[in-house]
């Protein structure tokens, strides 16, 4: 789903992670460290999941590479070591957060971005455009267009077209030159 969403948004998933993982490390760094026992359990769960355990990843899930600057890669390793969290588990949880969000905190960031970029006007009432801001002078016979239509200024009524045609005819007359 991560790859599908990043493709839909038009960004590289590895590029996104390379740019955002360093900031996400700040959240991990603020947590207390796991016990050695908790770290061992996390490592066993990771292996179990990769070997096809009950919570095995979906068939379309695959490992991918993330390229980080040397300093960020070293910090990732250091923080994960200090907090006794397997690096791949941390990255996996961050990807899960991007795709699914966190209950009570935020909705799925990548899904939200994908929705907004797929249909930017879906949730936002367009207030910039209204009949009153259209630079075109409409005749009094013209019906007002809905101000909720952001492209109403592109609608040219027959009355307006007649006014323009008349103005063009008048400009072509010798007395108006």
Distance CA 28, CA 7 (A): 27
Question: Is the model more confident about 91 or about 125?
Answer: 91
Q: Is the pLDDT of residue 126 over 90?
A: no
Q: Is the pLDDT of residue 54 over 90?
A: no
Whether 152 and 133 have beta carbons less than 8 Å apart is answered as: no
Q: Is the pLDDT of residue 92 over 90?
A: no
Q: Helices marked H in 101-157 — which ranges?
A: 109-118
Tokens, residue 147 = 């101000």
> Which residues in 33-52 are b (16+ Cβ under 10 Å) and which e?
ebeeeebeebeeeeeebeee
Residue 173: predicted pLDDT: 66
In this predicted structure, which of 37-51, 83-97, 122-136 has the lowest mean pLDDT? 122-136
Q: Give the CA angle between residues 113, 146, 155 to the nearest 5°.
A: 95
Domain coordinates in residue numbering, the chain: 2-118, 131-176
Q: Quick one: the chain helix, strand, coil %, rounded to 5?
A: 55, 0, 40
In this predicted structure, which of 7-21, 40-54, 92-106 has the lowest mean pLDDT? 40-54
Tokens, residue 33 = 């460290």
Residue 130: predicted pLDDT: 42
Distance CA 156, CA 128 (A): 19
Residue 76: predicted pLDDT: 93
Cα 58 to chain centroid, rounded = 23
Q: Is the pLDDT of residue 77 over 90?
A: yes
């Amino acid at each position: 789903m991560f790859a599908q969403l990043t493709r839909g948004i038009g960004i590289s998933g590895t590029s996104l992670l390379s740019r955002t993982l360093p900031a996400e490390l700040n959240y991990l760094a603020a947590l207390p460290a796991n016990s050695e026992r908790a770290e061992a359990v996390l490592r066993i769960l990771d292996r179990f999941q990769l070997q096809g355990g009950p919570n095995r990843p979906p068939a379309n899930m695959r490992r991918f590479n993330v390229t980080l600057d040397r300093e960020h890669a070293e910090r990732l390793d250091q923080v994960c070591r200090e907090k006794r969290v397997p690096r791949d588990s941390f990255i996996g949880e961050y990807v899960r957060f991007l795709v699914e969000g966190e209950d009570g905190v935020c909705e799925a960031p990548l899904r939200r971005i994908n929705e907004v970029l797929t249909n930017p006007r879906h949730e936002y009432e367009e207030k910039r455009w209204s009949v009153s801001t259209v630079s075109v002078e409409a005749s009094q016979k013209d019906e007002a267009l809905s101000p909720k239509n952001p492209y109403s200024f592109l609608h040219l009524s027959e009355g307006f077209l007649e006014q323009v045609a008349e103005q063009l005819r008048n400009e072509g007359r010798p007395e108006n030159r």
